[in-house]
Amino acid sequence: MNAPGGLFRAKEALKSAVMDPKTILQEVLRRSGKASYGKKVFWDAVDRPHYAYCVYQAASQAKSIGLHAISVIEFGVAGGNGLVALERIGRDVEAELGVKVHPFGFDTGSGMPEPLDYRDLPYLWRKGDFEMDVDRLRERLTDAELVLGNVRDTVPSFIHDYDPPPIGFIAFDLDFYSSTVDAMQLCDAAVERFIPRAFCYMDDVIGSDVEIHCEFVGELLAIEEFNTGHQDRKMAPIHGLQHKRPVPALWNSQIWVLHLFEHPEYGHYIEQPRAEIFDLSLED
């Protein structure tokens, strides 16, 4: 299908502006050459705001504990639009925060594998869906590394093969429960391979009315099982994230954080930008 034309996009922009005036501010910010990247991310005035939020937060956390580089990972690349976006976001974050961002993309390269059982939601996805044009994508990529093969085989040797900087962000978009469980083996890597609280985007926890996600199948089941099987590491959503955003959005309910309680820097004190809110001395 062709991308929607200019007239269609203009009509959609006008409709949004009438329904929600905040979209005007977002559009102004998006085009601004002066606004900081952090401000654009705060207002969701960027492409793939969920990736941008996670990468920005991960890089800020890394900076606060003296790290100069992080890895960001997309599990499930398909055509590659997400990985290309991740590269762009990485460059923008690095330009603002001075933390180098290394993107990695994992995919079979040949589309979805065979679903194993009902937990893979075969009523939604079939073998071969989302095939990748590997050569075309490789031509487009500049910073990202493509790790091709079934994650069941590529994840166990990833750290050894690539020696990536500490992982700050993982997008889980493999659709299947079985693939997500295999990808989550990465979360068992040595603690220094992560920032203390690594951001995760879980794509397949909300979907169309046909996609009826619950904790007994799919990604939500993989998360449950990960948490049951780990004492020192837990994956948890950011409580109330939508209330902290000036533009609440669906993606706010798709962000989890991998907490590594045994990380030597987990308790490292982080000075907050608005330190005055912590001044609780008695007022005159």
Ligand X SMILES: C[S@@+](CC[C@H](N)C(=O)[O-])C[C@H]1O[C@@H](n2cnc3c(N)ncnc32)[C@H](O)[C@@H]1O
Which residues, in sequence order, are CB contacts of 70 under 8 Å at separation 6+?
Answer: 58, 59, 62, 99, 100, 101, 102, 165, 166, 167, 168, 169, 195
Size of the site for ligand X (CB under 6 A): 22
Per CB under 6 A, the list member of 60, 67, 72, 76 interacting with ligand X is: 76
Q: 216-248: string of b/e by CB count within 10 Å (b at 16+)?
A: ebbbbbbbeebeeebeebbbebbeebeeebebe
Per CB under 6 A, the list member of 55, 73, 78, 202 interacting with ligand X is: 78
Span 130-159, contacts to ligand X by CB under 6 A: 130, 150-152
Token pair of 107 as six digits: 């995919």
C-beta closer to ligand X: residue 150 or 185: 150
Q: Does 82 bind ligand X (CB under 6 A)?
A: yes
Which of 65-73, 96-104, 169-177, 185-193 is the region at the interface with ligand X (rule: CB under 6 A)? 169-177
Q: Does 175 bind ligand X (CB under 6 A)?
A: yes
Contact present, 159 and 193 (Cβ < 8 Å): yes
Beta bridge partners of 81: none
- Rounded Cα–Cα distance for residues 77 and 81 (Å): 8
Q: Provide, rounded to whole angstroms, the least separation between the CB of residue 147 and ligand X.
A: 9
Q: Provide, rounded to whole angstroms, the least separation between the CB of residue 206 and ligand X.
A: 14
Q: Provide, rounded to whole angstroms, the least separation between the CB of residue 92 and ligand X.
A: 18
Span 102-121, contacts to ligand X by CB under 6 A: 106-108, 111-113
DSSP assignment letter at 43: T
Give one word for 199, left, alpha or beta, with left for phi > 0 and alpha for psi -120 to 50: beta
Mask for 46-75, x = binds ligand X (CB under 6 A) = ----------------------------x-
Beta bridge partners of 258: 198, 235
C-beta closer to ligand X: residue 176 or 199: 176
DSSP assignment letter at 186: G
Q: Provide, rounded to whole angstroms, the least separation between the CB of residue 189 and ligand X.
A: 18
- Rounded Cα–Cα distance for residues 122 and 35 (Å): 45
Q: Which residues bind ligand X (CB under 6 A)?
A: 74, 76-78, 81-82, 106-108, 111-113, 130, 150-152, 173-176, 179, 182
